[in-house]
């Protein structure tokens, strides 16, 4: 309703330009959109209300505001691009090709639909290319990268005296299996520097999950290969009686933790103070064993614990039933089942996103087609003059083709630029996944959109190729 009112304001305001005498004489009159100061203020207020409705109703208001900001930036850029095209084409005078001259005149004339075409097509193409790049990167990251490096199974509930029994059971089925076994203990953060973190860390914090409930922690002798130290030093062997903590660097940043801060942990009902001595870069995406907190083994090995394990098999010889017979208390999680479900959901999301963006393109094409139809009377008169001068249909169609190529080449370059920047920002900053440039997607979509748009424009113009001479001359 708000959008309808916003677009109605300049249309209604322009009605005063129609002269009653022209209506009685059946004279065609071109109108210009009219904006008074009052209508500009009213449009701005309604637009602000529209943006607030979307922003307040969103779970991430900052993302919604960022989207609208990007939308208006793109809109302004494509509008300026249309003016730039018109400016340079007006300077272009050296061509002797009639069809080229006609197409340039169509683009640069006062009441040209070039700005509408560039903005509508530019916004639609930008959105479609951006979502396509985001979708293909999602598919690649989830469907290919993670299954290749993720383990096949997680094993939970391995008791302290069952480690060798578990390991031997796995190797008996597949001698080439890759096994990782780590100790694990439950621990909850009660205080940070003597203060309950729940009193000042809000649930909307990205790392609230670390303090929200008890977490599993582990310990290792050496720095893990996939967890490099970003700040601080590894275990201080001179103080084996002190609990030392290695913390995920992102968690430290989100919770504003500094080196030397003291965590009070609840370990099996006993409160233990530990000192944060280093920050690690932890990547959870490969689904291997990772912990937000690691302890120094000199202190932690005396804490009652169990083991967590992963296994990646090189054959299909692993038998879950046989493994449960060896260790009845063992819990097994098959990662492939979850990955297949996640991949299926993401594929559906990718299809839905593509369809949504395609709808945006269709809306843009309808706007372009409508603008051409509004100019229909002008096109009829123009083609009538061409017909009188001896122009062939081929020359008129060729001029439309040149007109489209000039506009689309400029639009597609800017759209690709925005799509690359937008998709890269979304993947790396919002989803924190790896972004890769997909040239094939841009080529396929670019040519497809261009072809469909060209066909629509040509079809819309075909009805004006054979104007009836006498009715137009008589102004009937």
For the entire predicted model, the pTM comes to 0.64
**Angle at 387 (CA atoms; ends 385, 390), nearest 5 degrees:** 110
The arithmetic mean of pLDDT across residues 60-87, rounded, is 88
Q: Which residue has 């394990």 as its token pair?
A: 309
pLDDT, residue 247, reads 94
**Angle at 29 (CA atoms; ends 24, 30), nearest 5 degrees:** 160
* Closest alpha carbon to 300 in 264, 274, 269: 274
pLDDT, residue 256, reads 92
Q: Say how many C-beta atoms besides its own lie within 10 A of residue 232's C-beta.
A: 17
pLDDT over 60 at 228, yes or no? yes
Give dist(CA 378, CA 205) in Å, integer: 59
In percent, how much of the chain has pLDDT > 70? 86
The per-residue pLDDT of the chain, averaged, comes to: 82
pLDDT band at residue 243 using 50, 70 and 90 as cut-offs? very high
The arithmetic mean of pLDDT across residues 330-356, rounded, is 77
Give yes or no for a contact between 434 and 137, defined as CB atoms under 8 angstroms apart. yes
pLDDT over 70 at 368, yes or no? no
Higher per-residue pLDDT: 83 or 140? 83
Higher per-residue pLDDT: 34 or 290? 290
Give the domain ranges of the chain. Answer: 1-57, 60-147+342-473, 153-317
pLDDT band at residue 258 using 50, 70 and 90 as cut-offs? very high
pLDDT, residue 30, reads 64
The arithmetic mean of pLDDT across residues 198-207, rounded, is 88
Q: Which residue has 């990772």 as its token pair?
A: 290
The arithmetic mean of pLDDT across residues 417-443, rounded, is 86
pLDDT, residue 147, reads 59
* Closest alpha carbon to 212 in 186, 184, 188, 247: 188
pLDDT, residue 94, reads 63
* Closest alpha carbon to 122 in 88, 73, 188: 73
The arithmetic mean of pLDDT across residues 350-370, rounded, is 71
If phi over 0 gives left and psi between -120 and 50 gives alpha, with beta otherwise, what is residue 235?
A: beta
Write out pLDDT tens, residues 110-138. Answer: 767 788 778 888 888 888 888 888 878 87
The arithmetic mean of pLDDT across residues 229-241, rounded, is 88
Write out pLDDT tens, residues 18-70. Answer: 777 766 766 666 666 777 788 888 889 999 998 998 888 887 888 888 888 88
Give dist(CA 171, CA 168) in Å, integer: 5
pLDDT band at residue 91 using 50, 70 and 90 as cut-offs? confident
Write out pLDDT tens, residues 442-464. Answer: 888 888 888 887 887 777 666 66
The arithmetic mean of pLDDT across residues 330-335, rounded, is 86
The arithmetic mean of pLDDT across residues 370-385, rounded, is 64
177, with CB counted inside 10 A (0-12, 13-18, 19+), is buried
Give yes or no for a contact between 414 and 452, defined as CB atoms under 8 angstroms apart. no
DSSP bridge partners of 430: none
The arithmetic mean of pLDDT across residues 191-214, rounded, is 88
Encoding tokens for residue 417? Answer: 């630029």
The arithmetic mean of pLDDT across residues 361-387, rounded, is 66
Measured between alpha carbons, how far apart are the two ends of the chain, in Å?
A: 37
**Angle at 253 (CA atoms; ends 294, 250), nearest 5 degrees:** 55
């Amino acid at each position: 309703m708000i959008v309808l009112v916003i677009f109605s304001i300049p249309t209604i305001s322009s009605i005063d330009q129609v002269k009653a005498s022209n209506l009685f004489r059946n004279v065609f009159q071109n109108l210009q959109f009219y904006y008074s100061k009052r209508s500009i203020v009213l449009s701005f207020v309604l637009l602000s209300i529209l943006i607030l409705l979307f922003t307040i109703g969103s779970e991430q208001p900052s993302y919604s505001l960022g989207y609208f900001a990007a939308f208006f930036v793109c809109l302004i850029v494509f509008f300026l691009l249309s003016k730039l095209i018109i400016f340079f084409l007006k300077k272009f005078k050296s061509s002797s090709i009639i069809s080229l001259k006609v197409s340039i005149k169509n683009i640069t004339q006062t009441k040209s639909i070039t700005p509408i075409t560039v903005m509508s097509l530019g916004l639609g193409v930008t959105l479609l290319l951006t979502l396509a790049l985001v979708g293909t990167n999602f598919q690649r990251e989830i469907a290919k990268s993670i299954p290749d490096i993720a383990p096949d199974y997680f094993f939970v509930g391995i008791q302290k005296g069952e480690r060798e029994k578990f390991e031997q059971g796995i190797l008996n089925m597949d001698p080439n299996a890759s096994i990782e076994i780590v100790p694990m203990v439950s621990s909850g953060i009660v205080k940070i520097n003597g203060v309950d973190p729940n009193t000042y860390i809000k649930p909307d914090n990205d790392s609230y999950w670390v303090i929200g409930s008890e977490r599993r922690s582990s310990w290792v002798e050496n720095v893990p290969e996939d967890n490099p130290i970003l700040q601080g030093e590894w275990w201080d062997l001179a103080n084996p009686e002190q609990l030392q903590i290695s913390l995920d660097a992102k968690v430290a940043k989100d919770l504003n933790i500094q080196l030397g801060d003291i965590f009070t942990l609840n370990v099996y009902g006993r409160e233990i103070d530990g000192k944060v001595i280093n920050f690690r870069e932890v990547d959870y995406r490969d689904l291997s064993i990772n912990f937000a907190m690691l302890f120094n083994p000199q202190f932690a090995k005396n804490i009652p614990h169990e083991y967590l394990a992963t296994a990646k098999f090189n054959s299909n010889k692993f038998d879950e039933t046989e493994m449960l017979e060896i260790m009845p208390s063992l819990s097994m999680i098959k990662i492939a089942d979850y990955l297949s479900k996640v991949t299926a959901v993401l594929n559906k999301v990718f299809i839905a996103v593509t369809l949504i963006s395609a709808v945006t393109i269709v809306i843009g094409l309808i706007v372009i087609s409508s603008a051409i139809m509004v100019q229909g009377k002008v096109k009829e008169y123009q083609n009538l003059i061409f017909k009188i001068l001896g122009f062939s249909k081929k020359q008129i169609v060729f001029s439309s083709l040149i007109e489209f190529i000039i506009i689309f080449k400029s639009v597609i370059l800017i759209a690709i630029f925005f799509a690359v920047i937008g998709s890269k920002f979304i993947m790396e900053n919002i989803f924190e996944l790896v972004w890769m440039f997909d040239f094939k997607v841009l080529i396929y979509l670019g040519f497809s959109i261009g072809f469909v748009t060209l066909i629509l424009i040509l079809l819309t113009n075909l009805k004006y190729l054979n104007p009836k001479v006498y009715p137009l001359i008589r102004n009937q």
